[in-house]
Amino acid sequence: MKNPLDRFYKMFSNDIGIDLGTANTLVYLRGHGIVINEPSVVAVNQKTGQVVAVGAQAKDMIGRTPGHIKAVRPLVDGVISDFEVTEEMITYLINKAQKISKKMLGPRVVVGVPSGITNVETRAVRDATRNAGARQVHIVEEPMAAAIGIHLPVHEPVGTMIIDIGGGTSDIAIISLGGVVRSKNLRIAGDRLNSDIIAYIRSEFKILIGEKTAEQIKISIGSVLPNHTPKEAVVKGRDLITGLPREVVITETDIREAIGQSIATLLDAAKEVLETTPPEVVSDVMQRGVYLTGGGALIVGLDTILHDHLGLPVHIAEDPLTAVARGTGVILEDIEKYNDILLVNEDDTPPQI
């Protein structure tokens, strides 16, 4: 039955979708689209415990602020590592979205979380969202949201495979009939590739580079397949012996070597998920193929090697970094349709104390 207050809520409250990523947080505001896309970083004053900045502004503060201001990533491995900071971050996002929509009442919020999240963690996300002012909280697994975001028919009895490679975690999931049939969440994703590159350059070239530099090299010259004309990059770092700045030329082959092991683990994990999936579902997946989402979908050549490794068609989702956020938006358009797939689907019940 429709809630008689629906019209009232529609006028004074808004609907918000949040993709709480380990690297990037996106907010979808119904009727507006994606209105916030910021790094998942919060700057905290350690003396007072107060949050001084969130998102890009906080990221810019890293390394440039007095010692007592520390930048934290509240969702290190895809789960809430610091509850209070996460709550502050969600509050900030909700307030910002409210300002854009100019509506006063607490919003309905759909939040994406990594697959395989524990009940305790799910409740933590729910409570943080509630405390941040949400009137209703709905929680969806990110691979499911991504599938919805790229308009896959999740309710139909046909299996599809989603591989979402984010910053802290990768989600590998087989979806059919509105549910996650099999899934695996692993901590090998973009951040790991960055640290692989740091470790490799340290051991091969004896220089130390920072995380930001490693990420830039990964994005500019990284590829898991050899190119005809290998790309190169000049990298500045600190010489491990002299302690002075030094430049070296890194090639794409170096990067491939550096990240090889992690990529192999990722490929094997995908294979393992397929191997434990019921045969009827696998035959669907063979036909429909695999969809890559998240920033890691943009790793050059990944689609090709995945295809070779799994023997399935592999598609890179359009605009893979926004798939989850767009999915929360699609859900908000018709929450009832997606009732069955939501992990938490809570009405206006007051928070439990």
Binds ligand ADP (CB under 6 A): choice among 59, 108, 130, 218: 218
8 A C-beta contact, residue 95 and residue 134: no
- The bridge status of strand 15-20 relative to strand 24-29 is antiparallel
The option from ligand ADP, Mg ion, none interacting with 72 (CB < 5 to 8 A, set by class) reads none
CB 37 to ligand ADP: min, Å: 9
- Edge-to-edge strand ranges of the sheet holding 179-186: 179-186, 170-176, 160-165, 290-293, 314-316
CB 172 to ligand ADP: min, Å: 14
The option from Mg ion, ligand ADP, none interacting with 295 (CB < 5 to 8 A, set by class) reads ligand ADP
Is 21 a residue that touches Mg ion (CB under 5 A)? Answer: yes
Binds ligand ADP (CB under 6 A): choice among 141, 191, 196, 303: 191
Instruction: Please provide residue 181's backbone torsions phi and psi, each rounded to the nearest 5 degrees.
Output: -75, -45
The secondary element (H helix, E strand) that includes residue 270 is helix 252-275
8 A C-beta contact, residue 172 and residue 183: yes
The option from Mg ion, ligand ADP, none interacting with 22 (CB < 5 to 8 A, set by class) reads ligand ADP
Binds ligand ADP (CB under 6 A): choice among 74, 116, 295, 327: 295
Taking 3-state DSSP, the helix, strand and coil percentages for the chain, each rounded to the nearest 5, stand at: 40, 25, 30
Q: To 5 degrees, how large is the angle CA 348–CA 325–CA 33?
A: 90
Q: Taking contact as CB under 6 A, which single stretch among the options 50-58, 81-89, 146-154, 215-223 is the one that binds ligand ADP?
A: 215-223
Which residues between 47 and 76 bind Mg ion (CB under 5 A)? Answer: none
Q: Taking contact as CB under 5 A, which single stretch among the options 19-27, 70-78, 234-242, 259-267 is the one that binds Mg ion?
A: 19-27
148 backbone φψ class: left, alpha, beta (φ>0; ψ -120 to 50): alpha
Binding residues (CB under 6 A) for ligand ADP: these are 21-24, 166-168, 190-191, 215, 218-219, 222, 294-296, 298-299, 321
